[in-house]
Chain A
Amino acid sequence: MNSPNVPVIAVESISKWYGSVVAVNDVSLEIGPGITGLLGPNGAGKTTLLKMVEGLAAPSDGAVTIFGETPRNNPALHRRVGVMSEHEAVYGFQTGKQFVEWSAKLHGVTASAEATACAIERVGLADAQNRPLGTYSRGMRQRMRLAATIVHEPEAIILDEPLNGTDPRQRIEFHDLMRHLADEGRTILISSHILEEVETLADRILLMVSGKLAASGDYRAIRAKLDEQPYTVRIVSSDPRRLAAALVVLDSIASVSLGAENDVIVLSTNVAVLQRSLSRIAQGHNLRLERVEPLDDSLESVFSYIVEG
């Protein structure tokens, strides 16, 4: 494993532009062992950044190293790195087992059959391993791709939106597996555009917005900062008037109004408190909550709070 004082992944003032479009703008970061979440809305530049880190794309400016080596055109380095791209395509004619074993062999794993069996067991797909990948559900395909990513026991693992298509139970299993791999001293970088996906998983968060690194650090500190921002939330319930009356007295509510569609529009100064209060109010007033949804265009506005804040 890597020396504790040397970052496994080091990115120095990296930029990537396509013509006049700047996809990643002067990003610097260092990543060590443990789980790091790369968070940002769609189009923030996460995938472009990861492609440069993986060596799939050349930076327009700046430099990337993994274990002190440049990843671009460095096949030997990939013995130590496992990558799962955002593209979910697989070779549909291969069975899951063939796919993982193929990956093991190309990575130079000597006991490829044993390593394949172990990796497939880890993602819980032993029963489906002899079926062609073309017959898998999206979630199963993602898990088998993960098995192929970790079959050579890489020290650094880079996963781009790995939870796309997975169900809640699979996400829990994925979290357990990632935590286990991190506990073994591996460096794991996971990208996601969904806050909750990495909330309980990542030790450290990197927030990207519009091609720039907007914030980085402990998740709880970032979450607290997010929670302090005002949110507009739409709530559909069995009795909007009674719900509005119950909400308006809360300290965390700046304003409450009744919408045109039997809904309540709430401006909350602390969305975490609102979340906790809602279920209590619904229970206490015997109300049925049918829908609770943010009206702030989700992550885009949340991340802009961070950038502007």
Chain B
Amino acid sequence: MAEIFRLSLRQILGRWRVLVILLLAALPSLLILLIKLLSEAQFTFADDDIINPIIDGMIVGGILPIVTMALATAAFGNELEDKTLYYLVLKPVSRVSIVLAKLLATLVVAVPLVMASGVVASALVGAETRPLGTLALALAAGVAAYAAIFTFAGLLTPRALAYGLVYVLVWEGLLSTIVSGVGYLSVRGYTLALLHGMDEESFAAFTGRVIEFPAAIVGTGVVIVAFFLLALYRLRTMDVP
């Protein structure tokens, strides 16, 4: 599995997409620096004006799914596009190891990037250690859930990135915020509930509009396991080009 993990890591890091992703991840911090530079107003982390647009809207609703999607859809997507997947599946290596190696490679790159994006931006507006730790943990859980979804999507269709973007914008971005109940079926909903559940005081702005903490924990776990198994099933049953 280590050989496939290393190869996958190299595939992910060797592409132009990493540069775009780095810029994307840096966007919240750059924006906050710009606002600080141009405005006289004093912001604090707990302000609704910071929590809602920056943490929820930009980081949890945008950077988290988009960065993870760009990396996870490429995990198998590159292999299918280049027609190199047969090198992996015709080796005496279990399908579980292949999917796990791909998923881990995505996580190793995406988790630090998304974490850094959220933590640095929050630190710039004075977030303390506890909310920063909470943010890091919740974002890591969100990355794992999205990574499982988009790894499966990358095996399902060569247009996973396009379909994924529609899913992120429409389901996670729009419906999860305006339709009650969608939060139970939304990774964004889980991530916000995890933030609120782990540190109600710092993330009080989410009170009343997030699902229950236990439901978020179960939901995140179910998504990770279910989509991992779906990816495994797909790899076992598909005709490899």
Q: Which residues of A contact B (CB under 8 A)?
A: 51, 54-58, 73, 75-79, 81, 83, 85, 87, 89-91, 93, 102-103, 105-108
Q: Do the beta carbons of B92 and A108 come within 8 Å of each other?
A: yes
- Residues of B in contact with A (beta carbons under 8 Å apart): 3-4, 7, 10-11, 14, 82-84, 86-95, 236-237, 239-241
Q: Chain B's nearest CB lies how many Å from the CB of A164?
A: 14
| Among A51, A77, A91, A106, contact of B93 (Cβ-Cβ < 8 Å) | A106
From the candidates A75, A89, A106, name the one contacting B83 in the complex (CB within 8 A).
A89
If A102-B3, A105-B3 touch, whether A55 touches B84 (CB-CB below 8 Å) is: no
Q: A55-B90, A105-B3 are in contact. Are A73 and B236 (CB under 8 A)?
A: yes
**A87-B83, A93-B14, A102-B3 are contacts. A107–B91 as well, Cβ < 8 Å?**
yes
Note all chain B residues with C-beta closer than 8 A to A73.
95, 236
7 other A-B residue contacts (CB within 8 Å) besides A83-B90, A106-B4, A106-B92:
A55-B90, A57-B239, A73-B236, A78-B90, A91-B7, A93-B10, A107-B92
Q: How far is the CB of A48 from chain B (nearest CB, A)?
A: 9
What residue of chain A has the Cβ atom nearest to residue B84's Cβ? A89
Give Cα distance in the complex from A57 to B237, angstroms: 9
Determine how close the nearest CB of chain A comes to the CB of B82; give it in whole angstroms: 5
Q: Give the nearest-CB partner of B2 in chain A.
A: A105
Give min CB distance, A64 to chain B, whole Å. Answer: 14
Inter-subunit contact B7/A75 (CB<8 Å): no
Contact of A87 among B3, B86, B94, B237 (CB under 8 A): B86
16 contacts between A and B (CB under 8 A): A51-B240, A56-B240, A58-B237, A58-B239, A73-B95, A75-B95, A81-B90, A83-B86, A87-B84, A87-B241, A89-B83, A89-B84, A90-B84, A91-B7, A106-B92, A108-B92
Contact A102 B7 (CB under 8 A): yes
How far apart sit A54 and B14, CA to CA, in the bound complex (Å)? 30
A269, chain B: closest CB distance, angstroms? 43
Given A78-B90, A89-B84, A107-B91; A56-B239 close (CB under 8 Å): yes
Which chain A residues lie closer than 8 Å to B10 at the CB level? 91, 93
Bound form: Cα–Cα A140–B173 in Å: 49
B86 A75 Cβ-Cβ under 8 A: no
Complex Cα spacing A55 to B91, Å: 11
Q: By DSSP majority rule, is chain B's interface helix, strand, loop, or mixed?
A: helix
Asked if A91 contacts B3 (CB within 8 A), the reply is no
**Nearest-CB distance from B105 to chain A (Å)?**
14
- Are A75 and B92 in touch, CB under 8 angstroms? yes
Q: A141 vs B4: C-alpha distance in the bound complex, in angstroms?
A: 21
CB distance from B5 to the nearest CB of A (A): 12
A78-B92 contact given A56-B86, A89-B84, A93-B14, CB 8 Å threshold:
yes
Nearest-neighbor residue (CB-CB) of A77 within chain B: B92
- In the complex, how many angstroms separate the beta carbon of B98 from the nearest chain A beta carbon? 9
A85 lies within 8 A of B86 (CB): yes
Q: Which residue of B lies closest to A83 (CB)?
A: B90
Are the CB atoms of A51 and B239 closer together than 8 Å? yes
- Give chain B residues whose Cβ lies under 8 Å from the Cβ of A51: 239-240
B91 near A106: Cβ-Cβ < 8 Å:
yes
Contact B87 A103, beta carbon cutoff 8 Å: yes
In the complex, chain A residues whose CB is within 8 Å of the CB of B92: 75-79, 106-108
Q: Which of A56, A91, A106, A107 has the most CB of B within 10 A?
A: A106
In the complex, A240 Cα to B239 Cα: how many Å? 53
- A54→B90 contact, CB < 8 A: yes
- Closest residue on chain A to residue B78 by CB atoms: A91
Nearest-neighbour CB distance to chain A for B139, whole angstroms, equals: 30
Contacts of B11 in A (CB 8 A): 91
Shortest Cβ distance from A76 into B: residue:
B92
Residues in B whose Cβ lies below 8 Å from that of A77: 92
How distant is B96 from chain A, measured CB to nearest CB, in Å? 10
- Cα(A53)–Cα(B3), bound, Å: 26
Closest partner residue, chain B, to A82 (CB atom) = B90
**For the complex, what is the distance from the CA of A58 to the CA of B14, rounded to whole Å?**
33
- A85 closest partner in B (C-beta): B86
Minimal beta-carbon separation of B94 from chain A (angstroms): 6
Pick the 3 closest A-B CB pairs, nearest first: A87-B83, A106-B91, A57-B239
A73 to B93, CA, bound (A): 10
Residues of B within 8 A of A78 (CB): 90-92
Q: Which residue of A lies closest to B1 (CB)?
A: A106
Chain B residue nearest in CB terms to A16? B239
Whether B94 and A75, one on each chain, are in contact in the complex, defined by CB atoms closer than 8 angstroms, is yes
Closest B residue by C-beta to A87: B83
For B4, what are the chain A residues with a Cβ–Cβ distance below 8 Å?
106
Which B residues touch A55, using CB under 8 A? 89-90
Whole-angstrom distance from the CB of B180 to the nearest CB of chain A?
A: 43
A107 and B3 CA atoms in complex are apart in Å by 11
Q: Inside 8 A of B82's CB, which chain A residues have their CB?
A: 89
Closest to B236 in A: A73
Which of B3, B86, B237, B240 has the most CB atoms of chain A within a 10 A radius of its CB? B86
Q: How far is the CA of A293 from the CA of B149 in the complex (A)?
A: 55
- How many angstroms between the C-alpha atoms of A90 and B87 in the bound complex? 9
A283–B8 Cα gap in the complex (Å)?
61
Inter-subunit contact B89/A56 (CB<8 Å): yes
